[in-house]
């Protein structure tokens, strides 16, 4: 049987078989975030939330420090 | 930007406790299961609260000798921050209790002692608000603060240890100090405590600035 005479079903089977083979050969992917029941994702979410709150606190810090300096200058 | 490094340290330590707290190895214990990780977050709140109340009573004692308005403000703001930590500790503890003991609240000496402590500190703020004269308020609430701090130590530090308690670490129930892996847990727990204490001090510093600013605007 030559290649150009192959029936469509054979092609479909060949395609399925090839993808199955592909999956078996451990292709490197970004799996780190999907390991251990995806707990890393939750950790990342918590870290993002906490960094966000910290950035907000830094802004509040800078703003109040500036106001304090301005009032001290006004008193002089 | 000098003298700001401890704020970065606070954030780094807390982020470290979140990452290592979730991904680190913990002992496998019946009933506790993965909730053993609450040690890093729930217990840190109580340690931070005790530190805030300790700072508050220290400033109250200083205020009794120097009579400065700012010292009294520090005492108040540290007590407020301590109350915030205690509310967070109580809520997280109640959530944990629901899934471990089956009820949000049990008449456990540790839980009731905590509730009494919080009421004592609520009374501190009500006492402050009821006194108009700032100097009188600073002195009377300062004396009461010493009384409140001693009662807190008795109610959450001593009484739960004298009786049986369901709470981990009391009445023969295991806590992290008795585990094989306790060393690993300490390496996360203590940085978490230091991080949250520094974070609390940072918020108090900002609130003190706001308080002094409003004193300028509204004399």
What SS3 string covers chain B? CCCCHHHHHHHHHHHHHHHHHHHCCCCCCCCCHHHHHHHHHHHHHHHHHHHHHHHHHHHHHHHHHHCCHHHHHHHHHHHHHHHHHHHHHHHHHHHHHHHHCCCCCCCCHHHHHHHHHHHHHHHHHHHHHHCCCHHHHHHHHHHHHHHHHHHHHHHHHHHHHHCCCCCCCCCCCCCHHHCCCHHHHHHHHHHHHHHHHHHHHHHHHHHHHHHHHHHHHCC
**Which is it for the CA torsion B186, B23, B110, B177, positive or negative?**
negative
Q: Do B206 and A50 touch (CB under 8 A)?
A: no
Q: What tokens were used for B206?
A: 């900002």
Q: What is the pLDDT of residue B172?
A: 56
Residue B142 backbone class (left: φ over 0; alpha: ψ -120 to 50; beta: rest): alpha
Task: Give the chain A residue whose CA is nearest to the CA of B15.
Answer: A47
The torsion defined by the Cα of B51, B55, B58 and B62, in degrees rounded to 10, comes to: 170
Chain A residues with CB inside 8 Å of B205's CB?
61
In a domain, B67, yes or no: yes
Highest mean pLDDT among B51-65, B103-117, B159-173, B203-217: B51-65
Closest CA to B187 of B58, B61, B25: B25
Q: What are the residues of chain B with a beta carbon less than 8 Å away from any beta carbon of chain A?
A: 7, 11, 14-15, 18-19, 22-23, 202-203, 205-206, 209-210, 212-213, 216
Q: Give the gap in angstroms from C-alpha A25 to the nearest C-alpha of chain B.
A: 28
Of the pLDDT bands very low, low, confident and very high (cuts 50, 70, 90), residue A21 is low
Is the model's pLDDT at A16 over the cut of 70?
no
Closest CA to B138 of B127, B150, B149, B122: B127
Q: What is the pLDDT of residue B179?
A: 52
Enumerate residues 6+ apart whose C-beta is below 8 A from B140. B127, B131
DSSP chain A: --GGG--HHHHHHHHHHHHHHHHHS------GGGSGGGHHHHHHHHHHHHHHHHHHHHHHHHHHHHHHHHHHHHH-
Please state, in angstroms and rounded to a whole number, the distance separating the CA atoms of residues B89 and B24: 22
Chain A residues with CB inside 8 Å of B209's CB?
64-65, 67-68
Q: Please name the residue that has the structure tokens 């600035």.
A: B209
Task: Give the chain A residue whose CA is nearest to the CA of B212.
Answer: A68
Please state, in angstroms and rounded to a whole number, the distance separating the CA atoms of residues B8 and B156: 31
Task: Give the chain A residue whose CA is nearest to the CA of B214.
Answer: A68
Q: What is the pLDDT of residue A1?
A: 47
Highest mean pLDDT among B24-28, B30-34, B151-155: B151-155
In a domain, B152, yes or no: yes
Number of domains in chain B: 1
Closest CA to B33 of B119, B99, B126: B99
Q: Which of residues 1-60 of A touch B (CB under 8 A)?
A: 36, 39-40, 42-43, 46-47, 50-51, 54, 57-58, 60
More confident residue, A41 or B76: B76
Ranges A9-23, A59-73, B54-68, B180-194: which has the least confidence: A9-23
Enumerate residues 6+ apart whose C-beta is below 8 A from B70. B208, B212
Q: Do B209 and A50 touch (CB under 8 A)?
A: no
10 Å CB burial of residue B60 (0-12, 13-18, 19+) is: buried
Q: What is the pLDDT of residue A35?
A: 67
Q: What is the pLDDT of residue A17?
A: 59
Q: Where are the domains of chain A?
A: 3-75
- The closest CB to that of A68, out of B19, B23, B213, belongs to B213
In a domain, B6, yes or no: no
Q: How far is CA B163 from CA B9, B71, B148, B180, in A?
A: 38, 38, 22, 26
In a domain, B206, yes or no: yes
Above pLDDT 70, what percent of chain A? 55
In a domain, B27, yes or no: no
Q: Do A65 and B7 touch (CB under 8 A)?
A: no
Q: What's the mean per-residue pLDDT of chain B?
A: 88
Q: Do B18 and A57 touch (CB under 8 A)?
A: no
Ranges A48-52, B9-13, B25-29, B206-210: which has the least confidence: B25-29
Of the pLDDT bands very low, low, confident and very high (cuts 50, 70, 90), residue A8 is low
Is the model's pLDDT at B79 over the cut of 90?
yes
Tens digit of each residue's pLDDT (9 = 90 or more) over B148-205: 999 999 998 888 878 777 787 765 555 655 554 567 888 899 999 999 999 999 999 9
Tens digit of each residue's pLDDT (9 = 90 or more) over A32-58: 666 677 788 888 889 999 999 999 999
- The closest CB to that of A67, out of B15, B202, B213, belongs to B213
Please state, in angstroms and rounded to a whole number, the distance separating the CA atoms of residues B169 and B38: 13
pTM of the model as a whole: 0.81
The answer to ipTM > 0.90 is: no
Tens digit of each residue's pLDDT (9 = 90 or more) over A28-39: 776 666 667 778
Is the model's pLDDT at A15 over the cut of 70?
no
Range of the domain at B211: 34-217
């Amino acid at each position: 049987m030559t290649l150009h005479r192959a029936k469509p079903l054979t092609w479909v089977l060949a395609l399925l078989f090839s993808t199955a083979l592909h999956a078996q050969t451990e292709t490197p992917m970004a799996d780190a975030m999907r390991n251990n029941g995806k707990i890393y994702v939750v950790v990342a979410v918590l870290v993002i939330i906490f960094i966000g709150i910290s950035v907000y606190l830094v802004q509040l810090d800078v703003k109040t420090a500036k106001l304090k300096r301005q009032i001290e200058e006004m008193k002089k | 930007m000098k003298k700001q490094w401890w704020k970065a340290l606070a954030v780094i330590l807390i982020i470290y406790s979140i990452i290592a707290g979730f991904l680190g190895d913990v002992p496998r214990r019946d009933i506790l299961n993965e909730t053993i990780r609450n040690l890093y977050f729930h217990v840190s709140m109580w340690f931070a609260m005790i530190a805030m109340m300790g700072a508050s009573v220290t400033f109250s004692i200083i205020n009794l000798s120097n009579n400065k308005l700012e010292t009294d403000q520090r005492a108040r703001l540290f007590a407020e921050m301590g109350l915030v930590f205690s509310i967070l500790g109580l809520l997280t503890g109640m959530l944990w209790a629901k899934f471990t003991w089956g009820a949000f609240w049990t008449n456990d000496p540790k839980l009731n002692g905590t509730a009494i402590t919080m009421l004592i500190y609520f009374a501190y703020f009500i006492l402050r608000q009821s006194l108009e004269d700032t100097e009188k308020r600073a002195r009377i609430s300062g004396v009461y603060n010493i009384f409140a701090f001693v009662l807190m130590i008795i109610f959450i530090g001593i009484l739960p240890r004298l009786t049986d308690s369901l709470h981990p670490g009391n009445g023969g129930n295991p806590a992290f100090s008795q585990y094989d892996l306790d060393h690993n847990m300490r390496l996360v727990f203590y940085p978490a405590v230091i991080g949250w204490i520094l974070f609390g001090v940072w918020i108090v510093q900002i609130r003190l600035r706001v308080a002094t600013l409003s004193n300028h605007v509204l004399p």
